Amino acid sequence: MKIKSADFVMSNSDVAKCPNEPLPEYAFIGRSNVGKSSLINMLTERKSLAKTSGRPGKTQLINHFKINGNWFLVDLPGYGYARVSKKDKRTFQKYITDYFIKRKQLVSAFVLVDIRHEPQKVDMEFMEYLGENMIPFSIIFTKADKLKPKQMEANVNSYVKELLNGVWEEAPNYFVTSSSKNMGRDELLHYIESINQEFFKEN
Protein backbone atom coordinates (compact mmCIF):
# COMPACT_ATOMS: atom_id res chain seq x y z
CA MET A 1 0.00 0.00 0.00
CA LYS A 2 1.20 3.46 -0.86
CA ILE A 3 0.83 6.18 1.77
CA LYS A 4 -0.55 9.16 -0.11
CA SER A 5 -1.59 11.18 2.89
CA ALA A 6 -1.11 11.04 6.65
CA ASP A 7 -2.76 13.74 8.72
CA PHE A 8 -2.97 14.38 12.43
CA VAL A 9 -6.66 14.66 13.31
CA MET A 10 -6.95 15.04 17.08
CA SER A 11 -5.66 14.22 20.54
CA ASN A 12 -7.89 13.58 23.49
CA SER A 13 -8.33 11.54 26.63
CA ASP A 14 -11.94 10.57 26.08
CA VAL A 15 -12.88 7.76 23.75
CA ALA A 16 -16.32 9.32 23.25
CA LYS A 17 -14.67 12.31 21.59
CA CYS A 18 -12.58 10.33 19.12
CA PRO A 19 -13.45 10.74 15.41
CA ASN A 20 -16.83 9.19 14.76
CA GLU A 21 -16.42 8.21 11.13
CA PRO A 22 -16.92 4.49 10.53
CA LEU A 23 -13.37 3.89 9.32
CA PRO A 24 -11.10 1.01 10.34
CA GLU A 25 -8.40 1.83 12.85
CA TYR A 26 -5.28 0.27 14.29
CA ALA A 27 -3.92 1.13 17.71
CA PHE A 28 -0.32 0.93 18.85
CA ILE A 29 0.15 0.02 22.47
CA GLY A 30 3.09 -1.11 24.59
CA ARG A 31 5.47 0.08 27.25
CA SER A 32 6.75 3.63 27.17
CA ASN A 33 9.77 4.10 24.95
CA VAL A 34 9.19 0.85 23.04
CA GLY A 35 8.86 2.83 19.80
CA LYS A 36 5.13 3.25 19.13
CA SER A 37 5.32 6.81 17.86
CA SER A 38 8.50 6.12 15.88
CA LEU A 39 6.78 3.24 14.15
CA ILE A 40 3.90 5.48 13.07
CA ASN A 41 6.40 7.87 11.54
CA MET A 42 8.22 5.03 9.84
CA LEU A 43 5.02 3.56 8.37
CA THR A 44 3.82 6.91 7.10
CA GLU A 45 7.29 8.13 6.04
CA ARG A 46 6.65 11.34 7.97
CA LYS A 47 9.56 12.18 10.26
CA SER A 48 7.64 13.96 12.97
CA LEU A 49 3.99 13.17 12.47
CA ALA A 50 3.87 11.46 15.87
CA LYS A 51 5.97 13.00 18.63
CA THR A 52 8.86 10.84 19.81
CA SER A 53 11.41 11.18 22.58
CA GLY A 54 14.31 9.35 24.17
CA ARG A 55 12.56 9.92 27.50
CA PRO A 56 9.63 7.66 28.32
CA GLY A 57 6.18 9.17 28.72
CA LYS A 58 6.19 11.34 25.61
CA THR A 59 2.79 10.35 24.23
CA GLN A 60 0.11 11.28 26.75
CA LEU A 61 -3.18 11.15 24.86
CA ILE A 62 -5.14 9.16 22.30
CA ASN A 63 -3.85 10.49 18.99
CA HIS A 64 -5.67 9.88 15.73
CA PHE A 65 -3.87 10.03 12.40
CA LYS A 66 -5.92 9.66 9.23
CA ILE A 67 -4.17 7.72 6.49
CA ASN A 68 -5.08 7.96 2.79
CA GLY A 69 -8.35 9.55 3.87
CA ASN A 70 -9.92 6.23 4.80
CA TRP A 71 -8.32 4.59 7.81
CA PHE A 72 -6.72 5.58 11.10
CA LEU A 73 -3.53 4.88 12.97
CA VAL A 74 -3.81 5.54 16.70
CA ASP A 75 -0.85 6.43 18.89
CA LEU A 76 -1.37 5.79 22.60
CA PRO A 77 0.59 6.46 25.79
CA GLY A 78 2.77 3.68 27.15
CA TYR A 79 1.05 1.54 29.76
CA GLY A 80 4.18 0.85 31.75
CA TYR A 81 5.09 4.42 32.43
CA ALA A 82 5.91 4.77 36.11
CA ARG A 83 7.07 8.36 36.37
CA VAL A 84 3.65 9.93 36.66
CA SER A 85 1.83 10.35 39.95
CA LYS A 86 -0.34 7.50 41.15
CA LYS A 87 -3.50 9.42 40.45
CA ASP A 88 -2.40 10.36 36.92
CA LYS A 89 -1.45 6.80 36.29
CA ARG A 90 -4.92 5.65 37.23
CA THR A 91 -6.75 8.04 34.88
CA PHE A 92 -4.23 7.22 32.20
CA GLN A 93 -4.88 3.50 32.49
CA LYS A 94 -8.63 4.03 32.66
CA TYR A 95 -8.87 5.96 29.43
CA ILE A 96 -6.64 3.50 27.67
CA THR A 97 -8.74 0.52 28.75
CA ASP A 98 -11.89 2.52 27.92
CA TYR A 99 -10.51 3.09 24.46
CA PHE A 100 -9.96 -0.64 23.89
CA ILE A 101 -13.31 -1.70 25.28
CA LYS A 102 -15.48 0.96 23.69
CA ARG A 103 -13.88 1.78 20.39
CA LYS A 104 -16.01 0.05 17.77
CA GLN A 105 -13.80 1.13 14.87
CA LEU A 106 -10.77 -0.66 16.31
CA VAL A 107 -10.14 -3.58 13.98
CA SER A 108 -6.80 -4.61 15.36
CA ALA A 109 -4.33 -3.66 18.07
CA PHE A 110 -0.59 -3.94 17.75
CA VAL A 111 1.25 -4.74 20.96
CA LEU A 112 4.80 -3.50 20.64
CA VAL A 113 7.60 -5.22 22.50
CA ASP A 114 11.33 -4.47 22.45
CA ILE A 115 13.00 -7.38 20.66
CA ARG A 116 15.93 -7.26 23.09
CA HIS A 117 13.86 -8.11 26.15
CA GLU A 118 12.38 -11.29 27.54
CA PRO A 119 8.60 -11.36 27.89
CA GLN A 120 7.55 -8.81 30.51
CA LYS A 121 4.65 -9.36 32.85
CA VAL A 122 2.89 -6.12 31.91
CA ASP A 123 2.89 -7.08 28.21
CA MET A 124 1.67 -10.60 28.92
CA GLU A 125 -1.13 -9.23 31.06
CA PHE A 126 -2.13 -6.73 28.43
CA MET A 127 -2.27 -9.41 25.74
CA GLU A 128 -4.44 -11.53 28.03
CA TYR A 129 -6.68 -8.55 28.59
CA LEU A 130 -7.08 -8.12 24.83
CA GLY A 131 -7.80 -11.82 24.44
CA GLU A 132 -10.43 -11.79 27.18
CA ASN A 133 -12.13 -8.87 25.49
CA MET A 134 -11.96 -10.48 22.03
CA ILE A 135 -9.84 -7.69 20.63
CA PRO A 136 -7.69 -8.98 17.78
CA PHE A 137 -4.02 -8.12 18.05
CA SER A 138 -0.61 -8.80 16.59
CA ILE A 139 2.76 -8.44 18.25
CA ILE A 140 5.30 -6.05 16.81
CA PHE A 141 8.90 -6.59 17.83
CA THR A 142 10.67 -3.23 17.73
CA LYS A 143 14.29 -2.04 17.55
CA ALA A 144 15.46 -5.04 15.55
CA ASP A 145 18.44 -2.95 14.37
CA LYS A 146 19.88 -3.38 17.87
CA LEU A 147 20.48 -7.11 17.36
CA LYS A 148 22.29 -9.32 14.89
CA PRO A 149 19.96 -11.47 12.74
CA LYS A 150 20.73 -14.69 14.62
CA GLN A 151 20.03 -13.14 18.00
CA MET A 152 16.89 -11.53 16.60
CA GLU A 153 15.55 -14.87 15.48
CA ALA A 154 16.46 -16.56 18.76
CA ASN A 155 14.69 -13.86 20.78
CA VAL A 156 11.55 -14.00 18.67
CA ASN A 157 11.43 -17.78 18.90
CA SER A 158 11.84 -17.85 22.64
CA TYR A 159 9.23 -15.09 23.03
CA VAL A 160 6.67 -17.02 21.02
CA LYS A 161 7.56 -20.21 22.87
CA GLU A 162 6.89 -18.54 26.18
CA LEU A 163 3.49 -17.34 24.96
CA LEU A 164 2.62 -20.88 23.97
CA ASN A 165 3.74 -22.15 27.37
CA GLY A 166 1.34 -19.68 28.91
CA VAL A 167 -2.31 -19.08 28.12
CA TRP A 168 -2.04 -19.01 24.33
CA GLU A 169 -2.87 -22.05 22.27
CA GLU A 170 -1.85 -20.48 19.03
CA ALA A 171 1.04 -18.16 18.36
CA PRO A 172 -0.23 -14.67 17.59
CA ASN A 173 0.63 -13.00 14.36
CA TYR A 174 3.87 -11.08 14.70
CA PHE A 175 6.10 -8.66 12.83
CA VAL A 176 9.77 -7.82 13.29
CA THR A 177 10.50 -4.14 12.75
CA SER A 178 13.07 -1.40 13.00
CA SER A 179 11.93 2.17 12.61
CA SER A 180 15.44 3.41 12.04
CA LYS A 181 16.05 0.87 9.25
CA ASN A 182 12.54 0.83 7.77
CA MET A 183 12.38 -2.87 8.48
CA GLY A 184 8.97 -4.58 8.45
CA ARG A 185 7.26 -1.65 6.79
CA ASP A 186 6.00 -3.45 3.67
CA GLU A 187 4.77 -6.44 5.66
CA LEU A 188 2.82 -4.30 8.11
CA LEU A 189 1.25 -2.11 5.45
CA HIS A 190 0.34 -5.16 3.44
CA TYR A 191 -1.33 -6.71 6.49
CA ILE A 192 -3.27 -3.53 7.23
CA GLU A 193 -4.34 -3.28 3.61
CA SER A 194 -5.74 -6.80 3.67
CA ILE A 195 -7.77 -6.08 6.83
CA ASN A 196 -9.00 -2.81 5.34
CA GLN A 197 -10.22 -4.66 2.26
CA GLU A 198 -12.20 -7.09 4.43
CA PHE A 199 -13.59 -4.18 6.42
CA PHE A 200 -14.83 -2.31 3.34
CA LYS A 201 -16.33 -5.48 1.87
CA GLU A 202 -18.45 -5.90 4.99
CA ASN A 203 -19.30 -2.29 5.70
105 binds Mg ion (CB under 5 A): no
Helix ranges (DSSP H) in 23-165 = 36-44, 86-102, 121-132, 149-165
103 binds ligand GTP (CB under 6 A): no
38 binds Mg ion (CB under 5 A): no
Interacting span for Mg ion (CB under 5 A) from 35-43, 66-74, 146-154, 183-191: 35-43
Provide the sign of the torsion angle of the four alpha carbons 49, 40, 27, 81, taken in this order: negative
Q: How far apart are CA 116 and CA 9, in angstroms?
A: 33
30 DSSP β-pair partners:
112
Cβ proximity to ligand GTP: between 191 and 196 the closer is 191
Q: How far apart are CA 3 and CA 26, in angstroms?
A: 15
**Residues between 13 and 32 that touch ligand GTP (CB under 6 A):** 32
Provide the 8-state DSSP code for 178: B
**Residues between 48 and 77 that touch ligand GTP (CB under 6 A):** 52-54, 56-59, 77
Of positions 34, 49, 139, 192, contacts ligand GTP by CB under 6 A: 34
Q: Residue 126's CB: how many other CB atoms inside 10 A? A: 22
Closest by CA to 33, choosing from 175, 142, 138, 159, is 142
Q: How far apart are CA 136 and CA 109, in angstroms?
A: 6
Which of the listed partners (ligand GTP, Mg ion, none) does 105 bind, with a CB threshold of 5 to 8 Å by partner kind?
Answer: none
Of positions 33, 41, 44, 59, contacts Mg ion by CB under 5 A: 59
Radius of gyration of the chain (CA): 16
184 binds ligand GTP (CB under 6 A): no
Which of the listed partners (ligand GTP, Mg ion, none) does 80 bind, with a CB threshold of 5 to 8 Å by partner kind?
Answer: none
Q: Which residues bind Mg ion (CB under 5 A)?
A: 36-37, 58-59
Binding site for ligand GTP (CB under 6 A): 32-38, 52-54, 56-59, 77-78, 142-143, 145-146, 178-180
